Amino acid sequence: MSMKIWGKRMLALACAGAMLVPLAACGSDADAGKIRLSYLSWDNEQTSKPYIDEFEKENPDIKIDFSYAPPTSEYISTLQTRLVGNQAPDVFIITSENRDDLIDNGYAKDLTDESFMKNISQANKDFVGRDGKTYGMSITSWGSGIAYNKDLLKQVGYDEPPANWDDFLKLCKKLKNAGIEPFLEPNADEPSRFIDAFQGSILEKKGVDPTTLSTQDNQTPGTDELEAIKEYIRLYDEGGVTRDTVGISGDDMKTQFTNGQVAMIVDGAWDFATFEQAGMNWDFAPMPKLGDDYTQYAQGSASPAWAIYAKLDGDKLKAAEKFLTFLSSKWALQKRNDAGDAVTVDGFDATVMTQYQKVYDQDIKTGKYYLHTNFYSKPDILKSELKAQNQQLVQGQITPDQYAKNIDAKVAAAQ
């Protein structure tokens, strides 16, 4: 072998060796001997880091291997790939879109009797539960309501939106006649939030437990909400709200509202910071109820929950349980609360923004919130079909009965 070739080989070997140096640093001495817990989050690193740092400080024998995928479809497909590829994270997120698949395929551990589940509210347990068992720990909830421009409402003699649906429609008409855009909802992005709020109160009046809906053999989510649909479409038929909402996204709606071009929008706490920054005179009211015979409901849901991989055992399982215990600790709940999340853990005294207080007290704390897709199998299919049919309904291309029939047919085909 010539010196030239020998020299080249030595150089290549040195380069390869140099590339291994950073890898060696990955398993640094500081973490040697620690229990490594993998956690696939859908909150980014900036949001998650304070919790992880505090947990590792309190548990110096555990190291969290953090990874992140953004919600919702990207998170679900990332988790799916890791589960099928035997690279399952030890702690991950369970939510309505992957709940049935994770439970059916035995990926999520039954957490029902765990000590950290003791103070979790029943509505949050129901969200990730089945047959009396709970498969995730959800500590916050959200509810939507009516964000309104106080100055524009004052122009037609109102201080706040009325609590009844009939009166709400009258207000819309009055605003329209005064040349003010009364109301907008982002139908280009999602099905109407009103329908869910109405459906929650209709089910309560009928005495139907929504958690039983997904156990039915032939699910009919369209027909089930027909009464709510017929009430909802009055917004366009009687309230004079523009049918152009079909082409309006959440961002469009928000921009219109902060620019003072619309009196009311249907929204949630996630946009409050934008309203504050805009310096507008605004407030937030609960969703109107159908009538005096009905209980007022919000469209809302428990937030996604943390789940533990079902095949964990030994030290790793203990570490995962410690992590969930920490995430439901007073320190972590307060941190969540400070970040603006509506904590719904029993015994925790949450504080929310003044504008959100009424919805928090009336709907979230009492569990008076409902999200149609949470209570049927194949929620992802249902959600996209609800949006498409909602758009056609608002356009006037289909009747409420056709809406119900189309939804039922889609879900039946998927089942």
**What is the β-pairing status of strands 305-308 and 91-94?**
antiparallel
Please give the size of the binding site for another protein, defined by CB under 8 A.
Answer: 41
- Is 189 an interacting residue with respect to another protein (CB under 8 A)? yes
Cβ closer to another protein: 77 or 351?
77
Nearest-approach distance from CB 62 to another protein, in angstroms: 28
Structure tokens at 245: 């909402």
Nearest-approach distance from CB 195 to another protein, in angstroms: 17
Cβ closer to another protein: 203 or 241?
241
Q: What angle do CA 138, 274, 360 make, to 5 degrees?
A: 40
- Is 246 an interacting residue with respect to another protein (CB under 8 A)? yes
- Is 326 an interacting residue with respect to another protein (CB under 8 A)? no
SS3 332: helix
Nearest-approach distance from CB 254 to another protein, in angstroms: 12
Nearest-approach distance from CB 256 to another protein, in angstroms: 7
- Is 177 an interacting residue with respect to another protein (CB under 8 A)? no
Query: 313: exposed, middle or buried (C-beta count within 10 Å: 0-12, 13-18, 19+)?
Result: exposed
Site for another protein in 135-164 (CB under 8 A): none
- Is 77 an interacting residue with respect to another protein (CB under 8 A)? yes
3-state helix, strand, coil in the chain (%, to 5): 55, 15, 35
Nearest-approach distance from CB 391 to another protein, in angstroms: 4
Neighbours of 219 (CB within 10 A): 21
- Is 364 an interacting residue with respect to another protein (CB under 8 A)? no
- Is 413 an interacting residue with respect to another protein (CB under 8 A)? yes
Using the CB atoms, write b or e for 398-409: b if 16+ within 10 Å: bebeebbbbbbe
Q: Distance (Å, rounded) from C-alpha 413 to C-alpha 415?
A: 5
- Is 88 an interacting residue with respect to another protein (CB under 8 A)? no
- Is 107 an interacting residue with respect to another protein (CB under 8 A)? yes
List beta partners, residue 307.
Answer: 92
- Is 329 an interacting residue with respect to another protein (CB under 8 A)? no
Edge-first strand listing for the sheet containing 305-308 = 62-68, 35-41, 91-94, 305-308
Half-sphere exposure of 320 (CA within 13 A, CB side): 26
- Is 205 an interacting residue with respect to another protein (CB under 8 A)? no
Among 128, 172, 202, 248, binds another protein (CB under 8 A): 248
Please report the DSSP string for 151-185 in residue order. Answer: HHHHTTT-SS--SBHHHHHHHHHHHHHTT---EE-
- Is 415 an interacting residue with respect to another protein (CB under 8 A)? no
Among 48, 59, 395, 399, binds another protein (CB under 8 A): 395
Structure tokens at 376: 């049927």
- Is 249 an interacting residue with respect to another protein (CB under 8 A)? yes
Q: Distance (Å, rounded) from C-alpha 332 to C-alpha 347?
A: 14
Instruction: Pick the piece of the chain touching another protein (CB under 8 A) from 50-58, 69-77, 328-336, 350-358.
Output: 69-77
- Crossing angle between the packed helical segments 45-58 and 330-338, to the nearest 10 degrees: 160
Instruction: Pick the piece of the chain touching another protein (CB under 8 A) from 44-52, 217-225, 244-252, 334-342.
Output: 244-252
**What is the β-pairing status of strands 129-130 and 342-343?**
unpaired
Cβ closer to another protein: 77 or 281?
77
Among 335, 358, 387, 405, binds another protein (CB under 8 A): 387
- Is 278 an interacting residue with respect to another protein (CB under 8 A)? no
- Is 87 an interacting residue with respect to another protein (CB under 8 A)? no
- Is 130 an interacting residue with respect to another protein (CB under 8 A)? no
- Is 280 an interacting residue with respect to another protein (CB under 8 A)? no
Structure tokens at 105: 């395929």
Q: What angle do CA 250, 79, 339 make, to 5 degrees?
A: 50
State the residues that interact with another protein by CB under 8 A: 73, 76-77, 80, 83-84, 101-102, 104-105, 107, 188-189, 242-249, 252, 256, 259, 261, 378, 380-381, 384-385, 387-389, 391-392, 395, 397, 406, 410, 413-414
